[in-house]
Amino acid sequence: MKRALLIAGLAAMLCAAAPIDRALLAGQLAALAEKGNAEATYHLGMMKHLGIGGTKDDKAAFDLFRKAAEAGDPLAAYKLGDYYAKADNGQVEPDKAEALRLKAIAAEAGYALAQYEVARIHFEAGETDLALEWLLRAAEQGHPDALRALASLYNSDAIPKDAARTYAYYSLFLARLAAPNEVQKAFLADFTGKMSAEDKARGDRIIADWHAEASPLTVKALGGLRAAEALVQAPAQ
pLDDT at 19: 73
**Averaged pLDDT for residues 21-49:** 95
Each as own residue / partner, the long-range contacts of residues 164-169 (CB below 8 Å, 24 or more positions apart, any chain) are 164/195, 164/199, 164/200, 164/202, 164/203, 164/206, 165/203, 165/206, 166/191, 166/203, 167/191, 167/192, 167/195, 167/199, 167/200, 167/203, 168/203, 168/204, 168/206, 168/207, 168/210, 169/139, 169/206
Record the pTM: 0.89
Residue 184 · residue 171 · CB < 8 Å: no
Residue 164 · residue 206 · CB < 8 Å: yes
**pLDDT per residue over 75-101, tens digit each?**
999 999 999 998 787 899 999 999 999
Q: Is the dihedral of CA 49, 54, 59, 64 positive or negative?
A: negative
| CATH number reported for the structural domain that contains residue 87 in this entry | 1.25.40.10
pLDDT at 8: 45
Task: Assess if residue 129 is contained within a domain.
Answer: no
**pLDDT per residue over 180-233, tens digit each?**
999 999 999 999 999 999 999 999 999 999 999 999 999 999 999 999 999 999
Task: Assess if residue 222 is contained within a domain.
Answer: yes
Q: Give which of 196, 128, 116, 211 is closest to 162, Cα–Cα.
A: 196
pLDDT at 16: 47
Please say if the pLDDT value at position 5 is more than 80. Answer: no
**pLDDT per residue over 153-169, tens digit each?**
999 999 999 999 999 99
Residue 147 · residue 172 · CB < 8 Å: yes
pLDDT at 153: 97
Task: Assess if residue 179 is contained within a domain.
Answer: no
Task: Assess if residue 187 is contained within a domain.
Answer: no
pLDDT at 196: 98
CA gap 216, 109 in Å, rounded: 10
- Total structural domains in the chain? 1
pLDDT band at 18 (very low <50, low <70, confident <90, very high): low
pLDDT band at 237 (very low <50, low <70, confident <90, very high): low
Task: Residue 29: give the domain boundaries.
Answer: 7-13+21-109+215-237
Task: Assess if residue 143 is contained within a domain.
Answer: no
Residue 38 · residue 27 · CB < 8 Å: no
**pLDDT per residue over 90-139, tens digit each?**
899 999 999 999 999 999 999 999 999 999 999 999 999 999 999 999 99
CA gap 229, 136 in Å, rounded: 32
The gap from C-alpha 154 to its chain's centroid, in whole angstroms, comes to 22
